[in-house]
Amino acid sequence: MKKLFIVIIILGSFIAAQAQNNITKAKLSAFTLQYLKLNNKQGKVVTGYVYKTIDGKTYISALIKVSSDIDQSKLDAIGVLVGTKAGSIWTVQIPIQNLQAFTIVPGIGYIALDMPIVPLLDSARKQTRADSAQEGVNLPMPVTGKNVIMGIIDAGFDFNHPTMYDTTYSRYRINRVWAQKKTGVPPSGFSYGNELADTNTIRMLGYDTGILSHGTHVAGIAAGSGYASNKSNSRFRGMAFESEMVMVGIMPAPPEWAAAGESDIIDGMNYIFKYATSVSKPAVVNLSWGSTIGPHDGNSLFSQACDALTGAGKIFVCAAGNNGQDTVHLQKVFSSTDSTVSTFVTFSPLLDSNNRYTWVDIWGDTGKTFCVNIKLYGSSTAIDSTGFVCLGDTSLNFKLIGSNFDTCNVTITTVVSEYNGKPHALVSLYSKVPDNICLTTKATSGKVNMWEGYVFPPEGYYGYLRKLGYPWAVAGDVNMTVSDIGCTRSAITAGAYTSKTSFTNINGVGLVYPGSGRGRIAPFSSIGPTEDGRVKPDITAPGFALASSVSSYDTTYNPDGSNFSSIVSADTIGGRVFPYAMLAGTSMASPCVAGIVGMMLQVNPTLTPDEVKSIINSTAITDFFTGTLPASGSNTWGHGKINAYGAIKSIVKEESVQSVNMSPLDCVLFPNPNKGTFTINYTSKGNEQIAVQVFDISGRTVNSQYWNVQQGVNSKQFGISNLANGVYFAKVQSTQGYSVMKITIE
């Protein structure tokens, strides 16, 4: 019996061990694996990741992919906070001490801790022909973005800048603010940040962070009224200058340097679209932030979530990126006789010798594998090496000793198959040595693409992949430098061209931007294609350089500040100076496009992302500088230079053609806009009963009734005052046909 008892105990222990080993763990991104390695599973804060402080506790941000059998109560039990649910992609905030427990929650298929992102830093209205559309030249009405929500996800907002008011400075146009990194009352459905839903409270807060003006400049281009920019208050007017604005602030003030991440953007987009739906209006969201890191194939969890959130009347516009001159990309196709590629990783010149950090993100082909080696070279002689690390769902640390006997810290994190089915390696470097750092990748088949870049808030730092005089090494290139976010299928991705090469500042000093010519592609504008071969950017817009509003709280624009020379106009209101200044980047091109999309949505609030792209692409301007572009577009220009007037004329023409095809009835609706009461005059060919139906922008019927009419002119008043302000449609239908008329309630 004693022996049997021992056997039972051993067998029981074996079964328990097997049960433990059989717990299904979620697949982890390389960035997630690296985090678990770097903090030794102790739940400590590691530099370079995206955190939030909620009710005094520290959370790490992530995007996850879930299956249909996910049980949210199991997430609640370990304190995980769920935000946006974009189909199977969810945003979550995970208590850092519970990350290990989170990885074994049933129903989670994939976990991707947030990759941090950074900002992608007057004549524009004429260049894009938006001025003609705003004036209503040969159009049914002026097109100014009225009754459209302009969402700006950014940082460095000045909520009191006069450009945030209407053109008479009498109506404030910021309806909502979500300061994601502030403490307070979060929006409904979210667990962090502070929502401001009262305009007086927004104005009292004044700003989100005082160290940037990026958000103020972007908002001014997309939707600023231009008030106080000159005597006529029109010089630096934005595109959709009568739209209503919703702002999502995504960055805290120092010393809380917690980066902004991709889940912040998904939550912000969801928040803006939800608000727009609540007021029955279409919305466009602009993001002028990004990163070089990611698969660039439109299959990241961010891209999947974005594709799920966008749709009819819900459009996302983003900047292509500012790496068009940076050799941060390298591609290699392997064979059995050509099985290695070596390049030298250098650091951004903006990083000092004590803070030389960078990442290299390497992605292979589905079903293939590869190995990675980091080696230090003093001159022609190798000093130290990691040896080759082949893919294995693991994260390994190395300390290479340089010629100065100091260290180059290397972390190589590998994943056999990521969410897109591709093998992936993330190489993190922190060097204190003067030696050259060689990265070698080997394989016998397939290809790899690699990108270099590093985020340390609030900046992105880009070194270069170089030969450094070694004849066997390969330099990087500028292809596929459009940001990973910009590779999203539903995103309208904006590159930048040069609309201005010189300007005169507020002190009368003439300044010149070297390196480009007017009308040419901006030298920094990132270049496609996506990794899966799609053309990006979709379109270009003025971005080098544009004048727009900047924050009155940003001291770098004070007379003794580093950016004062870029101010072109300023006005004092209520004892406070509100400046306008020049900035350059695809950050500026993106809100040009977003503002024009807002104008398009005013004319047709139900446009889908594909429809917006089709209209923008087919009406784009090509000229001497773009050359003749293929029907599919080019990876420098997209489909050319955006043409606001042409796009809006195309929509008006299309709607007129549709009306003819629908056998429109002889009816008129007035007044329009109205307060919820309108009159329809209908001319009938005989006595009949017609149906009058009112529906919102989502197609939901909100009012319907029958109307008995007689031959000749009939007139009837309709009251729908119970509806919220916004855009609606009235459909009048008889046996002879029907007509659809847009109604604006305000």
Per-residue pLDDT at 455 exceeds 50 = yes
Tell me phi and psi for residue 35, to 5 degrees: -60, -45
Question: How do residues 540-580 score in pLDDT, each as one tens digit?
Answer: 999 988 899 999 999 999 999 999 999 999 999 999 999 99
- What's the CA gap between 526 and 528, in Å, rounded? 7
Q: pTM value?
A: 0.84
Per-residue pLDDT at 327 exceeds 90 = yes
Q: Is the peptide bond before 142 cis (omega within 30 degrees of 0)?
A: no
Tell me which residue of 50, 611, 720, 30 sits closest to 730, measured CA to CA: 720
Which is higher by pLDDT, 14 or 451? Answer: 451
Q: Which domains does the chain possess?
A: 2-114 (3.30.70), 119-323+484-652 (3.40.50.200), 329-466 (2.60.120.1290), 663-745 (2.60.40.3080)
Most confident of 121-125, 192-196, 654-658, 702-706: 192-196
Per-residue pLDDT at 7 exceeds 60 = no
Instruction: Report the pLDDT value the prediction gives residue 2, as an integer from 0 to 100.
Output: 36
Instruction: Report the pLDDT value the prediction gives residue 660, as an integer from 0 to 100.
Output: 43
Question: How do residues 110-121 score in pLDDT, each as one tens digit?
Answer: 999 988 887 765
Per-residue pLDDT at 457 exceeds 70 = no
- Residue position matching structure tokens 């900002």: 119
Per-residue pLDDT at 302 exceeds 80 = yes
Instruction: Report the pLDDT value the prediction gives residue 8, as an integer from 0 to 100.
Output: 31
Q: Is 564 helix (H, G, I), strand (E, B) or coil?
A: helix
Q: How far is CA 403 from CA 114, 357, 381, 407, 654, in A?
A: 36, 19, 11, 9, 69
- Residue position matching structure tokens 């390497």: 362
Question: How do residues 405-429 score in pLDDT, each as one tens digit?
Answer: 999 999 999 999 888 889 999 999 9
Q: CA-based angle 389:394:399, to the nearest 5? A: 60
Instruction: Report the pLDDT value the prediction gives residue 251, as an integer from 0 to 100.
Output: 77
- For 337, which DSSP code? T
Q: Is 79 helix (H, G, I), strand (E, B) or coil?
A: coil
The overall average pLDDT reported for the chain is 87
Tell me phi and psi for residue 70, to 5 degrees: -60, 135
For residue 119, the cross-strand partners are 289
Task: Quote the percentage of the chain above a pLDDT of 70.
Answer: 91
Residue type, 13: S
Instruction: Report the pLDDT value the prediction gives residue 126, as an integer from 0 to 100.
Output: 61
- Segment 287-303 mean pLDDT: 93
Question: How do residues 699-737 score in pLDDT, each as one tens digit?
Answer: 677 888 888 899 888 888 888 777 888 888 888 888 777
What is the torsional sign of CA 529, 530, 535, 541? negative
